[in-house]
Structure 1
């Protein structure tokens, strides 16, 4: 798979990506694989620095078998994973004597994160190996595993939580676009100026949306020749998602 090619896990939520990593470890031959999600929350505080714990049995040339214990931290990021997000994994790998600390990133580790790992290994000489699988490595690992991808990802029905999350995201996107359009109409004189109170309220809400979706390069609808098509497509998606959730057709409110 090419680095910028769409991956089968791209549309998964954080929790679903953890489950994908859990299933992938089993697919790769690891045993006693334990997904440590302790709550129903999207980001669980109960994993103690690792999302998955797995064992790998290794047979020596003389037939002796020894077991490696892997601690796995799964990071579903559209941007590079920052160093502070993998510190918990390293701390618990040392405290509980893991053999390998593995970060599985849906995209890439940031350069500061990679530099931090180099410095950590050089200065601390941990008793465990530090590994990370980024998008290219995951692409290689999935090559020839079409049955796994089809079984786990392609054929997986959408959960209600996933549908709700998709509807909320598109509602946010449409709401933000309409506020941009509002300011455009004010600027060209097709709408009366906003009061100072209205202006502050809307801009505060827009800043909240920008922070909420800061990692998503596709959140903004760009003002190019495809703008109208993008909005119409977005309205179609939103209507379909709301219909599945029990609403009437063609509800484009935001």
Structure 2
């Protein structure tokens, strides 16, 4: 009697679209952004998400935005009816970059201004979450006031889904994730590897003294070497050139990280 076919595994029975879910950013971290940085991120997010005429109402080069009159961004969204007729909706966007949950009183000014200016949608875009009190307050506001606009809330889970579709935004604004390095971390690592490559290519102090370079160049090289030794430690720098394998390992790391940053493979300039 032939063996019964094995039951398909969960991996084999997954729908094709489930495979796309294997790639995820995990979670977002906006702690490295100032409120103004977060507004700039939101501006780019709206632009990349199909909105047009996106206007950042900053009104000043200062870090705060006193001139926004209750909304940080104004944008337009083009919609199409079933008969092909196109029309635009105007959205007011209020960006909330809070360490803790956004409270109800942080929402009132925007809704008061919206009542006067009548957009189609008021969007609260939070780097974290609205408090339960704020969500209850919005529900009660809609029930008792029946505003002439819709109120939408994008919190961290909604931002995560949008950023996964526009990864360049995370890199551009140095948004942290639990599965990808920040751009600032990548740049710091590349800088370290470049300095270690530079050190490894320089002659020892004894060989430098016998070199026919000018004294100014010799002095600059010595100063650079002392700075590198102080930053990374003599043991680390000597280990980089201890063998061909060690030097190749350092070179490979530098080449790989530079490729991530847009350079050609095998760029080992220092």
Q: Return the match for 1:16 from 37, 47, 54.
A: 37
Mark the runs of 5 or more structure 1 residues left unpaired by the alignment. Answer: 157-235, 237-254
CA contact (8 A) 2:41 2:169 kept: no
Structure-1-length-normalised TM-score:
0.57
Q: Return the match for 1:58 from 61, 64, 79.
A: 79
The Cα offsets for residues 72-103 of structure 1, whole Å up to 9 and x where unpaired, read as 00010010001111111111111111000000
Q: Following the alignment from structure 2 to structure 1, what is the Cα–Cα distance between the partners of residues 40 and 172?
A: 13
Q: Return the match for 1:110 from 131, 135, 143.
A: 131
**Counterpart for residue 77 of structure 1:** 98
Figure out how many residues of one structure are paired with residues of the other and give that number. 156
**Counterpart for residue 88 of structure 1:** 109
Q: Following the alignment from structure 1 to structure 2, what is the Cα–Cα distance between the partners of residues 23 and 144?
A: 13
- Once the 2 structures are TM-superposed, how far is the Cα of residue 23 of structure 1 from its aligned partner? 0.6
**Counterpart for residue 47 of structure 1:** 68
CA contact (8 A) 1:10 1:106 kept: no
The 5 A counterparts of 1:44-193 are 44-153=65-174
Q: Following the alignment from structure 2 to structure 1, what is the Cα–Cα distance between the partners of residues 92 and 81?
A: 22
Q: Return the match for 1:30 from 33, 51, 58.
A: 51
Q: Following the alignment from structure 2 to structure 1, what is the Cα–Cα distance between the partners of residues 63 and 45?
A: 20
- Counterpart of 1:47 in 2: which secondary structure? coil
- Once the 2 structures are TM-superposed, how far is the Cα of residue 24 of structure 1 from its aligned partner? 0.4
The Cα offsets for residues 87-133 of structure 1, whole Å up to 9 and x where unpaired, read as 11111111111000000010000111111100000000001000010
Mark the runs of 5 or more structure 2 residues left unpaired by the alignment. Answer: 1-23, 175-181, 185-230, 232-270
CA contact (8 A) 1:53 1:69 kept: yes
- Counterpart of 1:122 in 2: which secondary structure? helix
The Cα offsets for residues 163-212 of structure 1, whole Å up to 9 and x where unpaired, read as xxxxxxxxxxxxxxxxxxxxxxxxxxxxxxxxxxxxxxxxxxxxxxxxxx
Q: Following the alignment from structure 1 to structure 2, what is the Cα–Cα distance between the partners of residues 17 and 147?
A: 15
- Once the 2 structures are TM-superposed, how far is the Cα of residue 155 of structure 1 from its aligned partner? 5.1
Worse-superposed segment, 101-110 or 34-43: 34-43
> CA RMSD, aligned part only?
2.1
Larger Rg: 2
Q: Following the alignment from structure 1 to structure 2, what is the Cα–Cα distance between the partners of residues 118 and 81?
A: 15
- Counterpart of 1:94 in 2: which secondary structure? helix
Q: Following the alignment from structure 1 to structure 2, what is the Cα–Cα distance between the partners of residues 70 and 10?
A: 26
Structure-2-length-normalised TM-score:
0.54
Q: Following the alignment from structure 2 to structure 1, what is the Cα–Cα distance between the partners of residues 122 and 165?
A: 26
